[in-house]
Structure 1
Amino acid sequence: MPRLLFALLLLVGATFAPATSIAQTTGQIVEVAVPAPSFSGNLLGTPDTQNAAIYLPPSYDQEPQSRYPVIVLLHGIFDDYGVWLENVGVPGILDRLIATGDVPEPIVVMPNGGNRYGGGFYRNSSVSGDWADYIAEDLLGFVDENFRTLVSEESRAIVGHSMGGYGAINLAITRPGLFSTVWAMSPCCLAATEDLSFGNDAWKRAAAVSNAEDVQQLIDANDFFPIAFLGLITAFSPAPDAAPIHADFPFEVVRGEVILDGPAYDRYLDAFPVRQISQARENLRDLRGLALDVGLDDQFLHIPTGALALSQQLGEERIPHRLDVYDGDHRQQVSERLETVVLPWVGGRLEAPQ
């Protein structure tokens, strides 16, 4: 063979071989606009079209007949799906886990969950919109229609962090048969304890809001808790006719002191998962996997106590689950745990691509 032809063949091989390798080992991110009729008429101005990011696995384009399991990732309050892409590094994590065979190739759906007050907590509300319906019907319906998913409970899992961890638990309780596997990372709002209780003076500042300018002042001052509490109360205790916040605060402030309204307070507490486990017992027992984790140094004091309280309730109802308690704070180990613990455990309980 002439030397020039041999050299050209080597050059061609060197040019195309790496591109083929990359195409087979990395996934791709697709950003989509999802129609969201579940938000129609909400009182916080949340748009009825929502953006989401979707990870398609490495073989998605190479194997056009294959269908894939689905994992939904729910972010925390004041975040958007960009936190999964830019801060946590989900695409790289998935590429590595797929390459090593630690997870079956999934389609991973990352919706936005924010609103004027930081987030809708992924639960239905007559004020902030029907966020649970959005995830269960609008979002998953859109994904099933437009991507090659395996449409079954056994092929779906949900993972969330902080507000998203609460959302994962709430959907497991209120939407049986939708997901087979659930992991809540540092879930907020499982119980109204510690810094989430009405002993936190931030509730007074939240209840004092009378217009949009008051909200903006809280935002400008980086006063986190009152804004988050406005999101919480409009999601957990909505009252469309109670302007301007459109929420039922189960207390009054009298001479600077919080005075609870007993019946309203009980209704508010009933919205938290620790009070809902017994009614959801049979459905939760049917899950392939239910897990939650918490860092010992979490900055939000209600999260460790809430996670332990929920685990105790699950145990009393004989609902199999996993509780991980580890050294770390609210965000410190999210990437590491997602890669080394959470996604391998979740992936191991999903149906493989077909």
Structure 2
Amino acid sequence: MQPWSIDMQGRFEEITFESEVLKGNPLNDSYKRPLWIYLPPGYDKEPERRYPSIYMIQGFTGQLDMWRNRSAFRKNFPELADELFARGEAPACILVWVDCWTSYGGSQFLDSPGTGRYHTYLCDEIVPWVDAHYRTLPQREHRGIAGKSSGGYGAMITPMLRPDLWGGLATHAGDALFETCYQPEFRETVRTLRDQYDGSFEKFWQDFRSRPAFTRRSDHTLLNDWGMAACYSADPDGTIHLPYDLETGALIPEVWEKWLVWDPVRMVPSHAETLRNMRAIYIDAGRRDEFFLDLGAEAFRRALEQIGVTDVYFELFDGTHMAIEYRYTLSLKYLAERLAS
């Protein structure tokens, strides 16, 4: 495999989307966002044909151009997806890569006064625009969403919040079962803040923005805690509340409960009918996931089973949280087959 180029059989259209709902967002992040639309082989030769659409969303700290990053001797996901369709191994689909990055690292694809209206951006701006400009099958039964980590989280909760739009989801190691994926890191944040930043998140941010990011081992943990709090527990005026005491790490129940409301595992019972009507649900995670998101995947599967949803693809595979782009074509094929019918 030549590492510097590949001949795509389909093609990408790359645009800058000017969002109305992201204007004036609390972090003053750009309201002009990159948007990629992948059109499968044959799209231009069959002008009457319409296609299912699958939306790809990223993990925390992810920005759109990272999808084209390559590891040594491995193809990136856009290349793997193009090969899948070019070989005819899955029904052709339009793929949409959406950017919901924020200067805190991400949005969890939610509307929050701490970050901005990213759920509305995705569902009420991007989806209608794509349907208006490309030959999609615009019904929910033919539209899916997929992602890893925080993108996997977004793929789980977005169809629950907007059942009118989404008929399929795929989550790779999505954030779930918050007491196992988030809570254990709170104590690490408290100790780091105490020993390095005088107990102040403000001093952490000053330091973080003064040097190359992630040059300290603790950067990800602190960034993740603050970023999640901005999404899950911000006041209407944008004030962000952490769910634990900054000196002891003890949970603050009323704030922690605001986080738990957004746990996909806990959301399932309230959205049972929606989930029973999904055409495709794909769940996987590595057995050695560093954030223990394999436990969240199992908990999400069990929650679905308890409401009667058993037609689910589920797998715990031998792997970690990292370098699992080869798994994405498995879920893409699964979604494409279910959403094309």
Tell me which of 278, 300, 309 is aligned to 1:319.
309
Q: Write the distance in 2 (CA, Å) between the matches of 1:139 and 1:156.
A: 13
Q: What is the correspondence of 1:1-354 to structure 2 with a 5 Å cutoff?
A: 26-87=9-70, 89-188=76-175, 190-197=176-183, 200-204=186-190, 208-210=200-202, 212-216=205-209, 219=213, 221-222=215-216, 223-241=219-237, 246-253=239-246, 256-301=247-292, 303-320=293-310, 321-335=312-326, 337-339=327-329, 341-351=330-340
Q: Write the distance in 1 (CA, Å) between the matches of 2:184 and 2:86.
A: 48
Question: TM-score under structure 1 normalisation?
Answer: 0.84
CA contact (8 A) 1:34 1:142 kept: no
Secondary structure at the aligned position of 2:25 is classed as coil
CA contact (8 A) 2:243 2:255 kept: yes
Q: Write the distance in 2 (CA, Å) between the matches of 1:95 and 1:220.
A: 32
Give the CA deviation at 1:59: 1.3
CA contact (8 A) 2:214 2:220 kept: no
Q: Which has the larger Rg?
A: 1
Give the CA deviation at 1:220: 5.7
Of residues 284-293 and 64-73 in structure 1, the stretch that sits farther from structure 2 once superposed is: 64-73
Q: Write the distance in 2 (CA, Å) between the matches of 1:300 and 1:165.
A: 13
CA contact (8 A) 2:233 2:242 kept: yes
Unaligned runs of 5+ in 1: 1-21
Q: Write the distance in 1 (CA, Å) between the matches of 2:245 and 2:78.
A: 47
Give the CA deviation at 1:126: 1.5
Question: TM-score under structure 2 normalisation?
Answer: 0.87
Give the CA deviation at 1:147: 1.7
CA contact (8 A) 1:75 1:83 kept: no
Question: Judging changes above 3 Å, is the alpha-carbon distance between structure 1 residues 258 and 201 closer, same or farther for their aligned structure 2 residues?
Answer: closer
Unaligned runs of 5+ in 2: 1-5, 194-198
Q: Write the distance in 2 (CA, Å) between the matches of 1:40 and 1:85.
A: 27
Write the letter of the residue equivalent to 2:245.
Answer: E
Residue equivalent to 1:12: none
RMSD (Å), alpha carbons: 2.3
CA contact (8 A) 2:291 2:321 kept: yes
Q: Percent identity?
A: 26
